[in-house]
Amino acid sequence: GAGVSQSPSNKVTEKGKDVELRCDPISGHTALYWYRQSLGQGLEFLIYFQGNSAPDKSGLPSDRFSAERTGGSVSTLTIQRTQQEDSAVYLCASSPGPGDTDTQYFGPGTRLTVL
């Protein structure tokens, strides 16, 4: 079946502009995650959505970052007033939901470059 999809695959923007990154999770998955991967680094947790519960935003690096998930499916990560240090690959993952073996499946990522 279809996996996690993300768009755009690449985004180049100028410093100070806002960007929106989209994630379409696997159908039926109730949990959705955003991670950031900087060059040569592991993945850094940003935010987690589970069903209708309040999201865990504890990983968002600043108030310029926000995310929403509409209708329990598609999610959008928004970065306002982008800075050069925001350049990274932004990965989305989804999973079936809470449980002992709740495997996260990742999308291909959006490579963001801030000039």
Partner 1 sequence: GQQLNQSPQSMFIQEGEDVSMNCTSSSIFNTWLWYKQDPGEGPVLLIALYKAGELTSNGRLTAQFGITRKDSFLNISASIPSDVGIYFCAGQNSGGSNYKLTFGKGTLLTVNP
Residues in contact with partner 1 by CB under 8 A are 4, 9, 31, 33, 35, 40-45, 48, 50, 56, 91, 93, 95, 98, 100-109
Residue nearer to partner 1 on the CB measure, 1 or 14: 1
Whole-number minimum distance, CB 104 to partner 1, in Å? 7
Nearer to partner 1, 6 or 82 (CB): 6
**Could you give the C-alpha distances from 43 to 35, 67, 92, 104, in angstroms and in order?**
6, 17, 11, 13
Residue closer to partner 1 (CB basis): 18 or 62: 62
Cis preceding-peptide flag for 108 (omega within 30 of 0)? no
The Cα 92–Cα 111 span in angstroms is 12
